[in-house]
């Protein structure tokens, strides 16, 4: 058939299903599913940790695909579906089960804002992937939003606070994360960070100190880290607004 002769071999590769990167995606999906089950069983700390594990696995699948040249359309779609479960449904259900049950309709309303924000964020990312500036994300990335939610639950549990005590603070944070995902704010993507470039010795030393800091108090350090990242988009927005102000000497 002449149609087969005109096919681009690259397109055939991109339509393939490759085992290695999709194993990582499946593991991330399982972590998200596990977080949902644990949240439903009131084991909130386990659920929060599972969301962080899903975030790590989600970061690995794309890198593995690029390193092994096994990127595919199937993998990209599967990754988005996995992200929706792990970073959309799991965090919103975790927050609802932990803090929102006593809020009635306001509770599920706050949880749904986060959930739909994740869906819209992923859909926009998939449709704009070829036209956006690679150095920045448009809106807060869904893994970072999920880490913010999970980190908050984890650190509050670690300090013996109940969800009922913090339900309004939890609702505000959840809505903030959901709206940040669908905003037009810029968040640094770190995609231009060259891992193959030589660095001074001090950089390796500082990285070692960073890992020691995380291991000393994972819940608190991770929550503050992702809270700072979530606020960084607003800081960039304020700096851009300042530059655009008429009469500003920075212009």
List, for the chain, all residue ranges whose pLDDT scores fall below the cut of 70: 1-16, 129-133, 192-197, 199, 245-251
Residue 152: phi, psi to the nearest 5?
Answer: -65, -50
The DSSP bridge partners found for residue 182 are none
The rounded distance, in Å, linking the Cα atoms of 176 and 173 is 5
Determine the pLDDT at residue 235. 94
User: What does the domain layout of the chain look like in residue ranges?
Assistant: 9-244
H/E element, 118: helix 105-128
Q: What is the pLDDT of residue 44?
A: 97
Say which CATH topology domain 9-244 has: 1.20.120
SS (H, E, C) 121-189: HHHHHHHHCCCCCCCEEECCCHHHHHHHHHHHHHHHHHCCCCCCCCHHHHHHHHHHHHHHHCCCCEEEC
Distance CA 79, CA 73 (A): 10
State the pLDDT at residue 132.
Answer: 65
Separation of alpha carbons 55 and 29, rounded Å: 10
Structure tokens at 72: 């595919």
Q: CA-based angle 140:143:147, to the nearest 5?
A: 100
Calpha distance 194→197 (Å, rounded): 6
What pLDDT is stored for residue 46 in this prediction? 97
Q: Bin 79: left if φ > 0, else alpha if -120 < ψ < 50, else beta.
A: alpha
What per-residue confidence (pLDDT) applies to 170? 96
Tokens of 156: 């509050």
Q: Cβ(155)–Cβ(220) under 8 Å? A: yes
Q: What is the pLDDT of residue 2?
A: 42
98: tokens are 């932990």
Token pair, residue 178, equals: 């959901």
Measured CA to CA, the distance from residue 126 to residue 128 in angstroms comes to 6
115/87 Cα distance (integer angstroms): 8
Per-residue pLDDT, 76: 86
Summarised one tens digit per residue, pLDDT across range 171-230 is: 999 999 999 999 999 998 877 666 666 767 787 888 888 888 888 899 999 999 999 999
Element (H, E) at 93: helix 90-95
């Amino acid at each position: 058939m002449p149609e087969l002769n005109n096919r681009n071999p690259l397109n055939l590769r991109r339509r393939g299903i490759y085992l290695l990167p999709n194993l990582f995606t499946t593991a991330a999906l399982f972590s998200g599913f596990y977080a949902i089950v644990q949240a439903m069983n009131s084991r909130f700390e386990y659920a929060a940790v599972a969301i962080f594990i899903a975030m790590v696995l989600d970061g690995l699948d794309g890198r593995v695909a690029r390193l092994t040249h096994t990127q595919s359309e199937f993998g990209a779609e599967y990754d988005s579906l996995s992200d929706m479960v792990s970073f959309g449904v799991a965090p919103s259900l975790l927050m609802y089960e932990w803090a929102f049950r006593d809020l009635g309709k306001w509770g599920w309303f706050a949880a749904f804002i986060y959930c739909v924000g994740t869906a819209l964020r992923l859909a926009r990312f998939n449709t704009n992937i070829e036209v956006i500036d690679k150095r920045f994300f448009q809106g807060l990335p869904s893994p970072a939003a999920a880490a913010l939610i999970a980190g908050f639950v984890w650190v509050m549990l670690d300090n013996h606070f109940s969800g009922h005590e913090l339900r309004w603070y939890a609702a505000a944070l959840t809505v903030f994360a959901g709206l940040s995902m669908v905003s037009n704010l810029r968040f640094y993507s770190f995609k231009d960070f060259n891992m193959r470039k030589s660095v001074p010795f001090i950089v390796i030393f500082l990285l070692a100190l960073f890992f020691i800091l995380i291991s000393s108090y994972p819940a608190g350090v991770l929550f503050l880290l992702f809270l700072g990242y979530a606020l960084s988009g607003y800081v960039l927005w304020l700096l851009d607004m300042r530059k655009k102000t008429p009469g500003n000497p920075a212009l």
